Structure 1
Amino acid sequence: MYGTEQADIFELMHKSRGKDYGAEAEEVARRARLRKPDADSLLDVACGTGAHLRYFADLFGHAEGLEMSEPMLALARKRLPARCVVHSGDMRAFRLGRTFDVVTCMFGSIGYAAGTAELEAALRSFAAHLVPGGVVAVDPWWFAETFQDGYVAGHVTQTDGRTVARVSHSARAGDTCVMRVHYLVADARAGARHFAEEHTISLFTREQYETAFTSAGLSVEYVAGLNSGRGLFLGTLLDTAQDQHRPSAH
């Protein structure tokens, strides 16, 4: 789980490495509207600090977020416009009492589902918050078959009088990736300090993702090449048999 300082520099580090949150949000919105042209409401699950959500809020008439990390939730509420409500909740089991045209889960966050049962529970939760014909867009973590065991990444950035260095190492442990990340942060007031974090992220196969979509009553299409090579899953709600279990429609 991200602490306060990690949450504060998370978006900064990835932007400085070239991640274009705005372009990614526009691509998801474009592809969602190919499937549902009138899509005007969106829920961004595991929205973090709101890096994608702030762009979704400009692309849709109504946008909300869901986040489990309290430090990230606090930053999202501080940074996002007041009209953009962010809820505290777990992607594997939440109920907001309304439905949306589009539900998104970006930047590999779906990988925090521990095992296929939790993955399928998350997709069912997403589907339960869709209007009939609504669209789910999931930016997956690396597949079990494409993960690079032992991958090392490093980056240094400077902004607002602060220098931040980030080094990570990712290794396979069974069906998971264990990613250990070290940060060195320095500024004139506080000096230099080090902190570290560890993430255990599931390495699902493409087939396991597709099974989770279909078991939730969603069609499924995989678009390769997007999101730094991880791709994008898109599903449309086809099974109206779940309607009686859904929150009231908007």
Structure 2
Amino acid sequence: MIMDIDIDKSWFKDWFNSPYYHLLYNNRDEQEAAAFIDKLLAYLQPPAHASMLDVACGKGRHAKYLADKGYDVTGIDLSIESINIAKKLENEHLSFFQHDMRLPFRINYFDVVFNFFTSFGYFESQRDNDNALRTLANALRPGGKLVLDYLNSPYVEQHLVYDEVKEKENVVFDIQREVKNHKFLKKINILDKNLMRRATFAESVNAFSRADFERMFAKQGLVISEIFGDYHFNSYDEQRSPRMVLIAQKP
């Protein structure tokens, strides 16, 4: 069990721009993601040509999936490397911008705002996390809906794998995890056999609970209408659900 992982408060700036980040997470299940988005759209019933914002959009695959269904979609992400890749997908219904989610981005503009796959809770201070959520809330039109998909902290803590080694394309990832100060911490030691070099990165995600989100959403004037416990829309259970998919509305 790892007990001493130190995390720089701006860890995400370097890690999300690293090619090793994209290599480590390139096996995410795109079919599962598409099925999840389809279920969300069926549940939300957005109007035709609705305006949508994908916050922390990465390389833009999910934003493109939404745009291909006829919606007007904007994606924002802190990583300039990801945005440069996403911009190759742009068309008249799809655009991307490099942007820090802690700063305002279009006010009272979007019908739906998405934040997929635990792309929130990175920040050291609660003020920064509140500012990020304020960006999402303010971007919505009155009556607009927010979907925030987060890990379920009690479940993750119960099932945490403290040590893990993965190898991809001749790059070894030695991953150490711990829970400390109400955060999930991850240290990633990398051995790149292709370039014969080593690197170390870290991740930190707040272990927010349902009650934490209820307080944060209420502070931004958002009304939670539903919480699902997984991508199949099963009911949320604090101990058994792997995810916490929050759906809220701006009055």
Q: Same fold (TM over 0.5)?
A: yes
Q: Which amino acid aligns with 1:38?
A: P
- The answer (yes or no) to whether the contact 2:108–2:142 under 8 Å persists in 1 is no
TM-score, scaled to structure 2: 0.76
SS class of match (1:136): strand
Where do 1:183-194 residues align within 5 Å? 183-187=190-194, 191-194=195-198
Q: CA deviation at 1:53?
A: 2.5
Residue of structure 1 equivalent to 2:44 = 35
| 2:30 maps to 1:21 | yes
Structure 1 residues 2 and 109: alpha-carbon distance in aligned structure 2, compared to 1, 3 A threshold = same
Where do 1:226-237 residues align within 5 Å? 226=231, 229-237=242-250
Return 5+ residue gaps in structure 1 as ranges: 240-250
Residue of structure 1 equivalent to 2:130 = 120
Q: CA deviation at 1:33?
A: 4.2
Structure 1 residues 11 and 214: alpha-carbon distance in aligned structure 2, compared to 1, 3 A threshold = same
Counterpart selection for 1:171 from 154, 174, 178:
178
Q: CA deviation at 1:62?
A: 1.2
Return 5+ residue gaps in structure 2 as ranges: 1-11, 233-240
- The answer (yes or no) to whether the contact 1:42–1:60 under 8 Å persists in 2 is no
| 2:8 maps to 1:8 | no
Residue of structure 2 equivalent to 1:92 = 102
| 2:215 maps to 1:205 | no
Structure 1 residues 153 and 99: alpha-carbon distance in aligned structure 2, compared to 1, 3 A threshold = farther
Residue of structure 1 equivalent to 2:218 = 214
Q: CA deviation at 1:2?
A: 4.8
Residue of structure 1 equivalent to 2:140 = 130
Structure 1 residues 43 and 71: alpha-carbon distance in aligned structure 2, compared to 1, 3 A threshold = same
> Identity of aligned pairs, percent?
25
SS class of match (2:175): strand
TM-score, scaled to structure 1: 0.76
- The answer (yes or no) to whether the contact 1:92–1:113 under 8 Å persists in 2 is no
Q: CA deviation at 1:104?
A: 1.0
Q: Over aligned residues, Cα RMSD in angstroms?
A: 2.9
SS class of match (1:133): strand
Q: Which amino acid aligns with 2:242?
A: G
Aligned residues, how many? 228
- The answer (yes or no) to whether the contact 2:56–2:78 under 8 Å persists in 1 is yes
Paired with 1:52 and 1:10, the residues of 2 have a C-alpha distance of 18
Where do 1:23-172 residues align within 5 Å? 23-38=32-47, 40-78=50-88, 80-83=89-92, 84-96=94-106, 99-143=109-153, 146-148=156-158, 151-158=162-169, 163-172=170-179
Deviates more, 1:53-62 or 1:122-131: 53-62
Q: Deviations over 1:179-202 (max 9, x none)?
A: 111233344xxx433222112221
